[in-house]
Structure 1
Amino acid sequence: MSGEAPVIVVAIEIEDAAVAERLASLLGKAAGIRLAGPGEEATVALVSREPLAITAPADIELTPRERDVLLMMAEGASNKTIARQLGISVHTAKFHVGSLLEKLDATGRTDAVAHAARLGVINL
């Protein structure tokens, strides 16, 4: 065995060419990191994705606050975190979560987010 540290091969799959180029420049200078060539399998991939967004279909009507809560639920936020970030009480956060569960015919928070994604209410 040699005493060399393993090299991490990084693929950059980011649509914004300027950002991708800056990342490649920074990572190319880091010890123990090598950028993946075209078609090469990478150890790690940096991938851009669309931010979470709500697109409500006609049959599911969500209030603006329910949309906010749904986005936070999709990010894994607790009722306490939702309340703190939205400036509402924990009781009110629970109320909105309950309303979402009912409107999305879900059995729990994860199920609600999954239903919302399947129905096109939220894009993950």
Structure 2
Amino acid sequence: MSEAPASPIVIAIDLDDPELSDRLAAMLGNVAGLRLAAPGEASNVTIMASEPAERGSDDFQLTARERDVLALLAEGRSNKEIARVLGISVHTAKFHVGQLLDKLDATGRTDAVAHAARRGIIEL
């Protein structure tokens, strides 16, 4: 006995940026199990732009050095590389990374970058 194929997930794209909308449509248009909604058609999911997080709205502030370290973390740099780029010791780089993890309530380096991006502290 064969099962009937599942209905595709219908996705609508509602963005103010037509170029971004076209890029998303091109990427999603070829994904098995997905179908782009026609104009006015009901969808299962709608991709919409959200308002960016208000900068500095959190109850903590990052120092200029912590922002430098965060930018290098976002590039995937190690503590040793961060130290070399910023002209500081590896111990100091490790300290700054630890401070960032605490301030951003992150479980690791990648999580810190993700939290910072969601909060609008950095842009990826």
TM-score bin, normalised by smaller chain = 0.5 to 0.7
Quote the Cα distance in structure 2 between the aligned partners of 1:73 and 1:102: 15
1:96 positional shift: 0.1
Q: TM-score by structure 2 length?
A: 0.54
Number of aligned residue pairs: give it: 71
Distance between the aligned counterparts of 1:67 and 1:92, measured in 2?
14
Deviation at 1:99? 0.0
Query: Structure 1: how far apart are the matches of 2:83 and 2:111?
Result: 21
Residue number in structure 2 paired with 1:97: 97
Query: Once the two structures are superposed, what CA deviation does each residue of 1:10-67 show, in whole Å capped at 9, x if it has no partner?
Result: xxxxxxxxxxxxxxxxxxxxxxxxxxxxxxx7xxxxxxxxxxxxx5435230001000
Q: Secondary structure of the residue that 1:122 maps to in structure 2?
A: coil
What is the correspondence of 1:1-124 to structure 2 with a 5 Å cutoff? 55-124=55-124
Unaligned runs of 5+ in 1: 1-40, 42-54
Query: Aligned partners of 1:100, 1:94: CA distance in 2, in Å?
Result: 10
Superposed CA RMSD:
1.3
Higher relative contact order (CA 8 A, sep 6+): 1
Q: Which 4+ stretches in 1 moved above 6 angstroms?
A: none
In the alignment, structure 2 segments of 5+ residues that lack a partner are 1-25, 27-54
Q: Distance in 2 between matches of 1:67 and 1:119?
A: 13
Shift of 1:108: 0.2
Whether contact under 8 Å (1:72, 1:82) holds in the other structure is yes
Write the distance in 2 (CA, Å) between the matches of 1:121 and 1:103.
12
Q: Is the 8 A contact 1:57 1:120 kept in 2?
A: no
Rounded to whole Å, the distance in 2 between the matches of 1:109 and 1:91 is 16
Among all aligned residue pairs of Structure 1 and Structure 2, give the percentage whose two residues are the same amino acid. Answer: 73
